[in-house]
Structure 1
């Protein structure tokens, strides 16, 4: 029995040796026999890849192994690789390097450290993505809802919201101020309005949007700069003495006066040589423009109050709100009168009698003022194709006991 047991033990040992030999190459066997135990280098710790434009940044820490002298990164089934030298110190060393020439794609990387004798660490595997022309082509600039240049030369831009999943994070606006100094302002994607002061009128601003495909990306992607004009430019400053309380050049010492900075013809000076400016009466506010006829004053035929300015080619809006509460338009000019807010080419407004202003070739735009209209509807839109001298104001032919109070004048240029 004892002999049988010895025979079985011997047979089992031989079988085990044969199995091990069949599963182990001759080189591996030599590693154990001739080379002793396998010597591995310490692997890189805290390994991370950061995506960029056709490139990646690799970062990590060499913590304990003083023998490590280089890091090797393989991809494309080891057909491509880079070697990153490592200069070890007595402490923890950070490895940080850029791998270039990685066209937009998803990559599977194998990473190993090596010492001077060629011993390597255990492999680490990591997947990372680069971004390039395809991502760039998907980007669109942030839309502008409105942009307006005010009379005080402050530019206000209202932006549309953006899809944050695209990586959008900011918009850059470049503009020139009245001292010809250029400024660049970065507007976060969470900010929907930008206001800049001292904007140079007549200039254009330009904008582009900034994107990070992921928050850890090392490269910023930009849309192309696009030059833009403010959609609306407030040119009201070009109209002198443009709102109540309107200023006078002279008065009769009482209710009536003549406007400063406006040309007022004789027909409108129907209150003893004064007219156009109303100091206030009958519950109406003082300092308005009011062309009143009747109640002892003559009717007005082809009366005109106007200013002359020069405008560049473009489309414009001329606006004059009127008083509609109380007496104002509610009992003012009727359809039997020819009272116009008007804009015309040249240095004087056309006549209004019989409505001839409406067909005069010099007329660029008009709004007939009647007591049934809305107080905010006295608006004229007109277009000129070249730099032109234009005249704007009021041209009126009105009967007995007529009046209407103008409160202000504004002028805007529309660019789109």
Structure 2
């Protein structure tokens, strides 16, 4: 019994010694004093920019924080921010400039006045620059036209994922005022009106991008010239149609007569150039034969002086009977239209065929102001019945 008591006493003392040793193990970790951590940065974010970023975070607790520090490039670069805590949540922001384009990992630490650090908070972000900018495309333009003294631009549809946010336009109005305006992007069916756009004045535009929702900078394409089509019919062409007007000084009947303000050769005159078959409100320009012989190089035309530019002459067809043998809308340098057999000498021409083609155009360009002749020339023999009735003509200056 006495032996048993001795053994139990020895085991009791051994247990106490082991427990004391374990309780003292922590001392080797705090030989230099207790480790104190300040509160870490909360809700850290990176806002991408043009060769820079903005890093932000919140200080929610710990009024002892006096300094924050942001590291990047494996701690080879850093920035220090002084902190003046308030009684509420503080938002910290810092711009980091002159960064090469690429992806970055940032580490944010907070410190108190004794230099005690928080645990690190890691956050990643992207820096954009010249490579990104060079990849940007100007927004497509489907049509740009001068209508009712206003410029009207129809934009091509855009994909919102590309980062397009707007277009910047520069133009001059009819009062010689310069405008510089930014239009917010609408990604589908967008039309922009430029009030009082001066005809022929240059219009420039560029496209604005943000590569990410949080981006702090806007990126721009280079400015491009935007040719605005101008309907210059009323300026240069008399009696352009819709309806065409009758020359009351020439013989006429209830239907046929001669066009006012247009010139015509004998071939065209002898068969009349004005046709009001559907009433004077729908009167047309015409060339025709109807089992009454042939027409050889009948011509209806006007001669005008045009400034330098790129143009399109358009003719809208009211009706064509049968298929036309050789009838053209033509523009020629000088004071006369070419004959049908020489149509390729015209500076612009388009061929009338049948009712499947109701709009015929002739494009041409002038490098300087020039006298040109525009109109219709046709030869008709086979089939023996051929008619063209044109409801209107239009002259558009593209640039």
Name the TM tier (shorter chain): 0.7 to 0.9
The question of whether the paired residues in 2 share the 8 Å contact of 1:141 and 1:223 is answered with yes
Task: Tell me the residue number matched to 2:335.
Answer: 347
Is the strand fraction higher in 1 or 2? 2
CA-to-aligned-CA distance 1:236-278 (integer Å, 9 cap, x gap)? 333222122223453668535554443456776659xxx5434
TM-score (norm 2): 0.77
CA contact 1:318–1:379 (8 Å) conserved in 2: yes
Q: Does 1:390 align with 2:372?
A: yes
Match of 1:330 in 2: 321
Does residue 133 in structure 1 map to residue 130 in structure 2?
A: yes
String of CA shifts for 1:213-255, please: whole Å, max 9, x gaps: 211111112222222324x554333322212222345366853
Runs (5+) with no aligned partner, structure 1: 33-37, 351-355
Structure 2 residues not aligned, in runs of 5+: 1-6
Equivalent residues, number? 386
Q: Does residue 11 of structure 2 align to residue 5 of structure 1?
A: yes
What is the alpha-carbon distance in structure 2 between the residues aligned to residue 282 and residue 92 of structure 1?
81
In the alignment, the residues of structure 2 paired with residue 147 and residue 58 of structure 1 have an alpha-carbon distance, to the nearest angstrom, of 43
Alignment of 1:262-411 (within 5 A): 262-263=262-263, 276-278=273-275, 280-281=276-277, 286-290=282-286, 304-324=299-319, 329-330=320-321, 341-349=329-337, 356=339, 358-359=341-342, 363-366=346-349, 376=358, 378-395=360-377, 404-411=388-395
Contact 2:104 2:125 in 1 (8 A): yes
Distance 2:378 2:72 in 1: 84
Please say if residues 340 and 378 of structure 2, whose CA atoms lie closer than 8 Å, have aligned partners that are also in contact.
Answer: no
CA distance in 1, matches of 2:54, 2:37: 25
* C-alpha RMSD of the superposition: 4.0
Q: Which aligned pairs between 1:179-328 and structure 2 lie closer than 5 A?
A: 179-180=175-176, 181-188=178-185, 190-197=187-194, 198-230=196-228, 233-237=230-234, 238-248=236-246, 250=248, 255=254, 258-263=258-263, 276-278=273-275, 280-281=276-277, 286-290=282-286, 304-324=299-319
TM-score, with structure 1 as normaliser: 0.75
**Offset at 1:133?**
3.0
| 1:151 and 1:236 in contact (8 A); partners too | no
1:31: which partner in 2?
A: 33
